[in-house]
Amino acid sequence: MKKILIFISFVVSIFIIGLVSINTHSVQDRILNIGIKNILFSAEPFLDKEDTLKVVICGSRSPLPSPGRAESCVLVEAGDDIYIFDLGNGSMDNLFQYQVPWPNVKAILVTHMHSDHIADLPDAHLQSWVQGRNAPLMVYGPEGINLVTKGFELAYSADYQYRNEHHGDDMLPMSVAGYNAIQIRDNKFIPNDTPGLEILPFVVDHYPVNSAFGFKISYKGRTVVISGDTIHDGTVQKYSKDVDLLVHSAISIDLVERMREVAPLPQLNKILFDIQDYHTSINEAGEIARDANVKHLLIYHSIPTPRNNLMERVFFRPIEAIYEDYTLSDDGTRVVMPVGNNEIVIDKIN
């Protein structure tokens, strides 16, 4: 009994000492400095040490809100070079948290010009500028991409000036402010200097969007297809034949119809009805993966994005009897495909 009392007294004493110490400035400063260091340097090194084709989902949701998720964004790393496909709202926050090295980012590629795929272009411009970009930001996109980038340049022209005047030409030179917008052509490879890399855009059907693309990325024997937003008309399946990874958007008609039944506004009801005719359903995504002999299907831009395990089970019900090698992506989902073998490693950036 005496030993127990001594132990309790010891624990209480430590607690009191800790409570008193936490209120002293020196202890607070030490704890705060450790916290700041963890915030700035806690992320693991982003680039792979081995030669791989890597995909990171930097935005997994559609425009329908889903807490903790950003809008569409897919990062592809081939060797040490990075290409980013779409930059929806919130995706730049993720890329900042992942500590993506912007000097390694060679280009932004836009599948189509809905706002949930381009909203964070201005933040990408700023982050790459701060990290030493030595030319205007390279942006590939559909017909009209130059109008988008010129609009951003006009809207942010005062911002460019203020930052240049504050930090100086050595830090933020005006000579590299702005974008270099290049129009994508159907079935014309995207020029790049990454050895062994091919990026092939192909037209998809997202009518009434008059110009929308998917992409096939090939790197030293490993392959990925990114569908963009599209209906199932056979195009994605054609380009996905035998690929390692198919990153496909998908809609659950079941869940969207349930949402329509309880929609508080007629406008929301109308939107939820309209979006059903220009996206691929989840069962169609499974059929594409099955019929194209895809090794793994990664769903992104899910409509609506499941918020819990039950919702996820209902979302994937239609695919269960069709195709089994699938994953619902979250922000930070990472797929690593080493060069030289058929391994596919799926995990998540912490």
HSE at residue 190, side-chain half, CA atoms within 13 A, is 31
Residue 11 has pLDDT above 70, yes or no: no
User: What percent of the chain is modeled with pLDDT above 90?
Assistant: 85
pLDDT at 17: 57
Average pLDDT value for the chain: 92
CA distance 182 to 201: 13
Residue 5 has pLDDT above 90, yes or no: no
**Coil, helix or strand at residue 115:** helix
4 C-beta neighbours (distance < 10 Å), count: 8
2: pLDDT confidence band, cut at 50, 70 and 90? low
Averaged pLDDT, 216-228 = 98
CA distance 124 to 139: 11
Averaged pLDDT, 220-239 = 98
Averaged pLDDT, 250-266 = 96
18: pLDDT confidence band, cut at 50, 70 and 90? low
Quote the pTM value: 0.90
Residue 164 has pLDDT above 80, yes or no: yes
Residue-wise pLDDT tens digits, 236-255: 999 999 999 999 999 999 99
β-pairing, 345-348 with 333-338? Answer: antiparallel
The torsion angles phi and psi of 94, rounded to 5 degrees, stand at: -65, -45
Residue-wise pLDDT tens digits, 301-344: 999 999 999 999 999 999 999 999 999 999 999 999 999 999 99
Q: Is the peptide bond before 208 cis (omega within 30 degrees of 0)?
A: yes
28: pLDDT confidence band, cut at 50, 70 and 90? low
pLDDT at 9: 65
Residue 10 has pLDDT above 60, yes or no: no
Q: Which domains does the chain have, with CATH numbers?
A: 48-120+182-348 (3.60.15.10)
pLDDT at 30: 74
Averaged pLDDT, 185-195 = 97
* Nearest partner of 331 among 348, 310, 312, 306, judged by Cα: 348
61 and 69 in contact (C-beta within 8 Å)? yes
Residue-wise pLDDT tens digits, 37-96: 666 665 677 888 899 999 999 999 999 999 999 999 999 999 999 999 999 999 999 999
Residue 34 has pLDDT above 90, yes or no: no
User: What percent of the chain is modeled with pLDDT above 70?
Assistant: 89
Residue 19 has pLDDT above 60, yes or no: no
